[in-house]
Amino acid sequence: MNGKLDFVSRSQYSGYYLGILGTVVVVGLVALPYVVAQGFTNTLVNLFILLILANMWNVLAGYGGLVSVGQQAFIGIGAYTVLLLAQHGIEPFLAIPVAVVVGAVFAYPISWFLFRLTGGYFAIATWVVAVAAGITITGIPSLGGGTGASLPGLQSMSSVLLGAFTYWASLAVVLASLVSVYLLLRSRLGLALTAVRDNEIGARSIGVKVTRAKRIVYLISAAGCAGAGALIAISQLNVQAANVFNVQWTAYMIFAVLIGGIGSIEGPIIGSVVFIVLQQSLARFNAWYLVIVGAVAVIIAIWARGGIWGVWADRSSTKLFPVGYFLRKSSPEGDQLVTQTNK
Amino acid sequence: MSQVTRDHLLRIEDLTVNYGQLTALDGVSFSVEESSIFAVIGANGAGKSTLMRTLAGLHKPIKGRILLDGEDITSVPPHLRVARGIALVPEGRRLFPSLSVEENLLTGTYRARKGTWTLATVYEMFPWMPSRRSQRASLLSGGEQQAVAICRALLSNPRLLLIDELSLGLAPIVVRSIYSSFGSLLESGLTVLLVEQDVSQARSIASQIHCLLEGKTTLFGGPRDFTAEEIEAAYFGIAKPNLELGTL
Amino acid sequence: MSWINALIQGIFLGGLFVLFAAGLSLLFGVMEVINLAHGDIAVAAGYLAVVLIPLLHIPAIWIFIVVVPVFVVIGYVMQRLLFQPSLKSGSLTTLLVTFGLSVIIENLLLEGFSANSHSLSIGALGSGAFRITHQLSISYLSVAILLVAIATIVIIQLGLSRTNTGRIIRAVADDREAAQLIGADYRHVFGIAAGVAFGTVALAGLALSMYSQITPSAGPTYLIYGFEAVVIGGLGSLWGTLAGGIVLGVAATIGLVASANFGALAPHLVFLAILAIRPNGFFPKKALA
């Protein structure tokens, strides 16, 4: 290659425009409860919860290479943290950040267990942890035992106001999760993870602390799922172990990620939207919608690994969240894109 | 289709194989006479192993044909080539480590053709084998493993035996003892195509040699048709400076 | 006395877990993949029996003669059509595909049979028991299940070590490519292994629906028990799996003495404890990371 490479850039277009676009979208979303009916924002709450979960599972599996089918453990822990705090008089909305921290705190010792295993054995062991956590909580009468407990502390709020607050809280958590993942992947750790994903042994040999990187991802993912669990508790006003510790949540997040495209930030967003749209439009077919969504996810997993975003990204180089690099070369005609690194 | 004479068991035409982004074999053609030993020589990376693996069906050529007894087998999958009479002793021997010596040998009979090779006849050829038949194959020495690998291939009663790097990693005396058993192989009508880095060994045993360099044929003919210098030049591609290579 | 009773019942309950574990262990040993739909396939076999018994007018106890071969075929076909293509893109893809399959099966069963539980009634064999003492009795069915489980392990073990097909399965497990060179089509061999695994798990599903009851969502619970038995015993060791299943069964019944909740929790705690002190299990064949 001749000609010198003058600078490395994250994005093809300046961050300035992206910033404006982002701000407009966020302001629009924040204003939404004043504009649309509550039914719509309720659906969006479900979308946001799924998006948080999908985003977290994507970081874990798509970047950390850790296929977990037990993230419902942290959904449950988040939900029950909110319940426990509310029973002691703490405002449920204020309990959300606490739940996030509690999720990560639980994840730390659990990671020492699980990281002894790899691949499929890691996957089922995460499931065992979730099952064990669910059974344990079912055995605590003050938390409602097997029948669950309703969430105190929000009865005084009008349903409209409660709906709006729930929506804003979900929006806040969703944005926080997207921003953290975006920043994580742009950090040195993100680079390390990409190296590990592409070649674990190679990454070890150049000094990447693989296990440490994976553990951090695991903790972040647990924290995010606990946040989603807290939102589930608030949006349903009821916490039941059979619901929050259900493996179905993991099915949702995995399907959303596979359909949207694993290993990109955009994929889970698209996948979550597609999932919710399918869920809404196939609602009258009962369990069939999961059969259909599951079949689509399986087909995509085998024959179209990149999912919807992958198919799209192959045809254009557009990225909403540029976490790769572009090399630009200075030339009299202006900057030229020379090459780009991974997604 | 082609004018293959009856006594040419294997014929390859213009065989081109890509390995990743590299062209590992580039338009190689030759014929192997029935009941003969044919040696392919060449330095590391010349494409010898790729050639053997392609003949066994493990690589798909992007161009060219492979004819066995006049029949085009280019697209026959590897497990069915065994039934047609091609057996490969792969580089590194590739015995099944958790199977015993005898079990390894017996796997060779899985898709065996009718023929003279049986457990008894291979045990006759290598008298040390029966006493160690219940040992795990991974516990044998390199030379012993090579012998087991050859016998495993023989038990499929092949018409064409492919041997990749027979002498690699083995003591010369072991190599000689294995080669000394080849006389009886030829008598049984077997055709042997082998890859050998040791040129003098190849010249002493083969009736035809074929030299590859970076995937291309640089020399072929009878082992006595060339001087050692000529073979060396073809082997390393240095004596006659190759302009094509110089531009790279 | 209740402790001894719990211990003995636990050993027999372990037989059921072993049946779930056998196919899981076999598939991991051959392909290094874990079928997350394993439990759901067992449950599906139970439902097939529920449908077929009234149609075929044969006693429930003999339904395995029909159901097991059907699942052997399904296993072979699924391996060739679904699992094999997923293996190409890595074992993590297989994991996701089998997880998806698990959800699909569960929801199909939910559509077809509702969430109500079903069970197979086998008459006298189901209700009869050996009376050892006044307080201790062991049902015929428990004994039968443990014997079937042991027989399954023994047959798989002998099949792998003594038959031509078993030898080729082990050869493929060792080195796929080298196995092609001796004429083995590894995809076909994987299909056979999957067929055997599906056959054993169908047996497990029938045993479960005779011993207790099945619901569309019962699968994962038994997948997990089976998996725990495999890990406790040591990966790839079928005899270890037998021991592991019995350890879990005993943990469950002894836990049950304390409370229903603890009965469900105890096997998982035993598993996690063993994972902490002995991550390779007790009879390891292959090392873990």
In chain B, where are the structural domains located? 8-93+159-246
Model ipTM over 0.90: no
Residues C229, C240: Cα–Cα separation, whole Å: 8
Q: Is C116 on the interface with B (CB under 8 A)?
A: no
Predicted confidence at residue A337, as pLDDT, reads 43
Q: Is A85 on the interface with C (CB under 8 A)?
A: no
Q: How confident is the model at residue A65 (pLDDT cuts 50, 70, 90)?
A: confident
Q: Is B203 on the interface with C (CB under 8 A)?
A: no
Residue in chain A lying closest to C84 (CA): A302
How far is C-alpha C239 from the geometric centre of its chain's CA atoms?
14
Residue A269: CA count within 13 A, CB half-sphere:
14
Please state, for a pLDDT cut of 90, what percent of chain C lies above it.
Answer: 69
Tell me if C107 and A67 make a contact (CB, 8 A cut-off).
Answer: no
Nearest CB among C167, C174, C181 relative to B106 is that of C167
Predicted confidence at residue C284, as pLDDT, reads 57
Q: How far is CA C15 from CA B44, C19, C250, in A?
A: 56, 6, 10
Q: Taking CB atoms and an 8 Å cutoff, what residues of chain B touch C175?
A: 94, 96-97
Domains of chain A as residue ranges with CATH: 32-340 (1.10.3470)
Predicted confidence at residue B239, as pLDDT, reads 52
> What 3-state class would DSSP assign to A182?
helix
Count H helices, E strands: chain B?
10, 10
CA–CA–CA angle A335, A340, A342 (5° rounding): 160
Q: Compare A120 and C199 and report the one with higher pLDDT.
A: C199
Domain topology for C2-277: ABC transporter involved in vitamin B12 uptake, BtuC (1.10.3470)
Q: How confident is the model at residue C282 (pLDDT cuts 50, 70, 90)?
A: low
> Do residues A304 and A260 make contact, with C-beta atoms less than 8 angstroms apart?
no
Among A2-6, A47-51, A253-257, C142-146, the minimum mean pLDDT is found in A2-6
Residue B83 has pLDDT above 60, yes or no: yes
Pairing of strands B208-213, B191-196: unpaired
Predicted confidence at residue B198, as pLDDT, reads 83
Mean of pLDDT values over C211-238? 90
Q: Give the position of tokens 């443990």.
A: C146
Residue burial B41-58, b: 16+ Cβ < 10 Å; e: rest: bbeeebbbbbbbbbbbbb
Residue B233 has pLDDT above 90, yes or no: no
Least Cα separation, residue A135 to chain C (angstroms): 6
Q: Is C108 on the interface with A (CB under 8 A)?
A: yes
Residues C252, A128: Cα–Cα separation, whole Å: 15
Q: Which residues contact B207 (CB under 8 A, 6 or more apart)?
A: B33, B36, B37, B38, B222, B223
Indicate the helix (H) or strand (E) that contains B163: strand B160-164
Residues A70, A107: Cα–Cα separation, whole Å: 11
Q: Taking CB atoms and an 8 Å cutoff, what residues of chain A touch C28?
A: 120
Q: Which residues contact C260 (CB under 8 A, 6 or more apart)?
A: none
Q: Is A246 on the interface with C (CB under 8 A)?
A: no
Tell me if C93 and A301 make a contact (CB, 8 A cut-off).
Answer: yes
Mutate to test the interface with C, among B100, B110, B113 (most CBs of C within 10 A): B110
Predicted confidence at residue A188, as pLDDT, reads 85
Task: Give me the residue spans of the domains in chain C.
Answer: 2-277
Give B33's strand partners.
Answer: B8
Residues A229, B109: Cα–Cα separation, whole Å: 59
Residues 90-119 of A with CB under 8 A from C: 113, 116-119
Residue C1 has pLDDT above 90, yes or no: no
Residue C90 has pLDDT above 50, yes or no: yes
Residue burial B13-30, b: 16+ Cβ < 10 Å; e: rest: bebbbbeeeebbbbebeb
Q: Which of A218, A211, A243 is nearest to A229 (CA)?
A: A243
Q: Taking CB atoms and an 8 Å cutoff, what residues of chain A touch C91?
A: 119-120
CA–CA–CA angle A164, A229, A169 (5° rounding): 25
Largest CA distance in chain C: 63
Residues A82, A61: Cα–Cα separation, whole Å: 27
Q: Taking CB atoms and an 8 Å cutoff, what residues of chain C touch B78?
A: 180-181
Q: How confident is the model at residue C134 (pLDDT cuts 50, 70, 90)?
A: confident
pLDDT digits (tens, 9 = 90+) for B15-50: 999 987 888 999 999 999 998 999 999 888 888 999
Q: How confident is the model at residue A7 (pLDDT cuts 50, 70, 90)?
A: low
- The pTM is what? 0.88
Tell me if B107 and C174 make a contact (CB, 8 A cut-off).
Answer: no
Tell me if C174 and B96 make a contact (CB, 8 A cut-off).
Answer: yes
Residue B199 structure tokens: 């040129």
Residue B198 structure tokens: 């040791």
Indicate contact of A with B: 3+ CB pairs under 8 A: no
Q: Which residues contact A80 (CB under 8 A, 6 or more apart)?
A: A137, A143, A229, A233, A239, A244
Domain topology for B8-93+159-246: Rossmann fold (3.40.50)
Give B18's strand partners.
Answer: B23
pLDDT digits (tens, 9 = 90+) for A113-131: 898 888 788 888 999 999 9
Taking the CA atoms of residue B201, residue B203, residue B208 and residue B211 in that order, the dihedral angle to the nearest 10 degrees is 80
Mutate to test the interface with A, among C104, C232, C235, C280 (most CBs of A within 10 A): C104
Q: How confident is the model at residue C135 (pLDDT cuts 50, 70, 90)?
A: confident
pLDDT digits (tens, 9 = 90+) for B102-113: 999 999 999 889
Nearest CB among B83, B96, B111 relative to C171 is that of B96
> What 3-state class would DSSP assign to C130?
strand
> Do residues B177 and B8 make contact, with C-beta atoms less than 8 angstroms apart?
no
Residues C26, C229: Cα–Cα separation, whole Å: 13
Tell me if B106 and C164 make a contact (CB, 8 A cut-off).
Answer: yes
Residues A318, B156: Cα–Cα separation, whole Å: 56
> Do residues A51 and A252 make contact, with C-beta atoms less than 8 angstroms apart?
no
Residues B243, C9: Cα–Cα separation, whole Å: 83
Q: Is C279 on the interface with A (CB under 8 A)?
A: yes
pLDDT digits (tens, 9 = 90+) for A96-109: 999 999 999 999 99
Residue A235 has pLDDT above 70, yes or no: yes
